[in-house]
């Protein structure tokens, strides 16, 4: 007999990115993290790749948000390293 569990699966939050060429891509929000007192967001594209997109993240007073390109390559490298370090941390049980 199968065990009955009352666990509810969390629905993934999806953001649709629109690129400069007009193409759109749905991405799952992997998480929002802090680096040097600024927020960043990690997104997983729905394209069967292993890619992760990282953007600056700002929440507005009305509850909406903005994704910001990280144009400084040096900063992007530091943010990507922070994300990698977070992903390598052991999960707490």
Tens of pLDDT, residue by residue over 35-73, are 999 999 999 999 888 999 999 999 999 989 999 999 999
- Tell me whether residue 5 is in a domain: no
Has residue 9 been placed in a domain?
no
> For residue 68, which phi and psi values (nearest 5 degrees)?
-120, 130
Question: Which two tokens mark 22?
Answer: 């007009």
Task: Tell me what pLDDT residue 90 has.
Answer: 77
Backbone angles phi, psi at 41, to 5 degrees: -125, 140
8: pLDDT strictly greater than 80:
no
**Is residue 45 a part of any domain in this protein?**
yes
Domain that holds residue 84: 14-88
pLDDT tens-place string over residues 71-82: 999 999 999 999
Is the pTM for the entire model greater than 0.85?
no
Q: What is the pLDDT of residue 10?
A: 62
Domains: count for the chain: 1
Question: Would residue 67 count as lying in a domain?
Answer: yes
* CB-based contacts of 18-27 (< 8 A; 24+ apart in sequence): 27/53
- Three-state DSSP at 87 gives helix
Q: Residue 3: inside a domain, yes or no? A: no
- 6 within some domain: no
In a domain, 4, yes or no: no
**pLDDT given at position 89:** 80
């Amino acid at each position: 007999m199968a065990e009955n569990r009352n666990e509810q699966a969390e629905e993934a939050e999806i953001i649709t990115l629109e690129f400069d060429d007009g193409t759109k891509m749905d991405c799952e929000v992997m998480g929002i993290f802090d680096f040097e007192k600024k927020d960043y967001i990690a997104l997983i594209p729905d394209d069967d790749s292993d890619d992760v997109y990282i953007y600056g993240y700002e929440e507005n007073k009305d509850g909406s948000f903005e994704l910001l390109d990280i144009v400084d390559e040096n900063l992007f490298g530091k943010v990507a390293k922070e994300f990698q370090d977070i992903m390598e941390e052991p999960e707490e049980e």
